[in-house]
Amino acid sequence: MLAYLAAVAGEAPYILSGSLVTLGVVCASLGLGFCMGVPLALAQVYGLPTARRLVAVYTWFFRGTPILVLLYLFHFGLFDALNLNMPALVSACIVLGLASSAYQSQIFRGSLEALPAGQFKAARALGFSSVQSVRHIILPQALRLSLPGWSNEYSILLKDSALVYVLGVPEIMTRAHFVASRTSWHVTYYILAALLYLAITALGLKLLRLLEKKTRLPGYNL
Amino acid sequence: MFKQNLLLLLISFFLFGGTALAAQKTYINGIDANYPPHAYVGKSGQPEGFDVEALDWIALKMGFQVKHQPMDWDAIVASLLAKKIDMVCSGMSITPERQAVVNFSAPYFSVRKVLLVNADKPLSKEEILKGNKILGVQRGTNEAEWLVQNREANGWNYTLRYYDSAPLAIEDLVNRRPDAVAVDSAPANDAIKKGGKDVRIVGEFAEADDFGVAVRKEDEELLRLINEGFKLLMQDPFWQKLQDKYDTQL
């Protein structure tokens, strides 16, 4: 038993350092998803009919295609056809980011639509331009409202990130697999991987909950 | 004055030192790191294995740099064609299907294909093939293809169950989900000798396979380097040392 634990402890640092790769993938794709999700949501709520239709097609495509299919499609198909020789890590971040932007846009759309329609009109009446109204009146409220849904997106994306092992990105799951293959102790290292994912989920959710508390406006009610 | 000299020295270092370094081309070798003892990720987190060390030796002798890139076996030929990697030296069997899209070096290793069962199960090869059994196999391998293609003609009736890697198939055999698994002799021996798995080899199937290094059709220069490198390696005492180290003799 002691020898077993010592052996597992010896392998742990390699798998543990995979969580940095996992975190990198999650942060990059959440960031990309956020930067694209907000404009997509604004376009869908305030945009012209054509813009709305385009966003609808975009979200339909990325929400309707399995991430595994998207990974193969983009890494070996699209990026190759465009002559972009992307490293697997970059492909993974882009694909997860695009998929996440589709989900995030719907989180933000929900919040935008939950705001009373009068807010935008009132801001315009006070002399704000439409960009200013969105920037200073609408978004601060909508983003606060979005935080619980966004935390959910974080934990889903974290788990989706395990899929990028098919491209050979050396994240937690890939490394657990490698060590399992060499040592033939599959279950042990899958348990270790599960514990790591649980720890990262707990940590991230805690931080987001803190952010929620920090940004709460006392006495603010819709 | 001193500063100027230093600057000159630096410039000349970058110019000449740079060209000396640049002359050594770096090739990326895609490996299936779930295929011990030929290719796997070692304790240090670095790629190791029989094929990895052999290629490192060749690179040193033939004057090129090599970087080993672990990746999913399913997509390894796609990665080679898409130029994500430059070669596959990782226990890849030479098959006509693969030869249609890539070039192979001369064979450098030969493996048998074996059927494994739990050590306490009295199953014979015939019973596995004809007894309505569940047979585990790694996806994307030529043994999987062979088992599909030769099923009907021989009146065999096993059901194939596909796994991500050979070690995972063997693990599930230990769990007694498939009745038997079909794998290369190399990972089978590794699991029995090093992994201490309670399984035994009941027989062979198909013909023995030759491993070759796969390169893109247009990379004739690289193919020449690898072929010459293996010729040198096989005449060197290191070749025997490698086989002893990784226990590849059956």
Residue ranges covered by each domain of chain B: 2-110+210-245, 113-207
Which residues, in sequence order, are CB contacts of B32 under 8 Å at separation 6+?
B39, B70, B71, B72, B73, B76, B90, B91, B165
Q: Which residue of B has its CA nearest to A166?
A: B72
Q: Classify A208 as helix, strand or coil.
A: helix
**Residue B30, pLDDT above cutoff 90:** yes
What's the confidence (pLDDT) of residue B11? Answer: 54
Q: What are phi and psi of B35, to 5 degrees?
A: -130, 65
What's the confidence (pLDDT) of residue B8? Answer: 55
What's the confidence (pLDDT) of residue B4? Answer: 59
Give the CATH fold of the B113-207 domain.
Answer: D-Maltodextrin-Binding Protein; domain 2 (3.40.190)
**Residue B21, pLDDT above cutoff 80:** no
How sure is the predictor about B9, in pLDDT bands with cuts at 50, 70 and 90?
Answer: low
Helix and strand numbers (H, E) in chain A are 11, 0
What's the confidence (pLDDT) of residue B74? Answer: 84
Contact B51, B90 (CB under 8 A): yes
Cβ density class A74-108: b for 16+ within 10 Å, e for less: bbbeebbeeeeebebbebbbbbbbbbbbbbbbbbb
**What does the pLDDT look like over B115-149, one tens digit per residue?**
999 999 999 999 999 999 999 999 989 999 999 99
Percent of chain B scoring above 90 in pLDDT? 78
**Residue B18, pLDDT above cutoff 50:** no
**A-chain residues near B165 (CB < 8 A):** 177, 181
CA nearest neighbour of B33 among A16, A176, A163, A162? A176
**Residue B158, pLDDT above cutoff 60:** yes
State which CATH number among 3.40.50.720, 3.50.50.60, 3.40.190.10, 1.20.1250.20 fits the domain covering B2-110+210-245: 3.40.190.10
Q: How far apart are the first and last CA of chain A?
A: 58
How much is the mean pLDDT over chain B?
Answer: 90
How far is Cα B123 from Cα B31, in angstroms, rounded to an integer?
A: 34
What's the confidence (pLDDT) of residue B3? Answer: 55
Higher-pLDDT residue of A28 and B24 is A28
Angle at B149 between CA B145 and CA B152, to 5 degrees: 145
Q: Which residue of A has its CA nearest to B83?
A: A85
How sure is the predictor about A173, in pLDDT bands with cuts at 50, 70 and 90?
Answer: very high
Q: Which residue of B has its CA nearest to A170?
A: B70
**What does the pLDDT look like over B44-76, one tens digit per residue?**
899 999 999 999 999 999 999 999 999 888 889
Name the interface residues of B facing A (CB cutoff 8 Å). 33-36, 40-45, 69-72, 74-75, 78-79, 82-84, 164-165, 167-168, 170-171, 191, 194-197
**Beta-strand runs (E) in B75-204:** 87-88, 102-104, 109-111, 113-118, 134-138, 159-163, 180-184, 199-204
> Which of B44, B165, B196 lies nearest to residue A181, judging by beta carbons?
B165
**B-chain residues near A186 (CB < 8 A):** 167-168, 171
**What does the pLDDT look like over A63-109, one tens digit per residue?**
999 999 999 999 988 988 898 888 899 999 999 999 999 999 999 99
Between helix A139-160 and helix A88-114 the angle, nearest 10°, is 140
The answer to whether the B2-110+210-245 and B113-207 domains have the same CATH topology is yes
**What does the pLDDT look like over B204-246, one tens digit per residue?**
999 888 999 999 999 999 999 999 999 999 999 999 999 999 9
CA nearest neighbour of B172 among B142, B120, B137, B205? B137
**Beta-strand runs (E) in B42-141:** 47-48, 65-70, 87-88, 102-104, 109-111, 113-118, 134-138
How distant is the Cα of B149 from the closest Cα of chain A, in angstroms?
A: 26
Rounded to two decimals, what is the model's pTM?
A: 0.82
What's the confidence (pLDDT) of residue A2? Answer: 85
Given CB atoms, is A188 within the 8 Å cutoff of chain B? no
Given CB atoms, is A177 within the 8 Å cutoff of chain B? yes
How far is Cα B96 from Cα A210, in angstroms, rounded to an integer?
A: 60
How much is the mean pLDDT over chain A?
Answer: 94
ipTM attached to this prediction: 0.78
**What does the pLDDT look like over A107-164, one tens digit per residue?**
999 999 999 989 999 999 999 999 999 999 999 999 999 999 999 999 999 999 999 9
Q: What class has domain A2-214?
A: mainly alpha
Which residues, in sequence order, are CB contacts of B67 under 8 Å at separation 6+?
B26, B27, B28, B29
Given CB atoms, is A184 within the 8 Å cutoff of chain B? yes
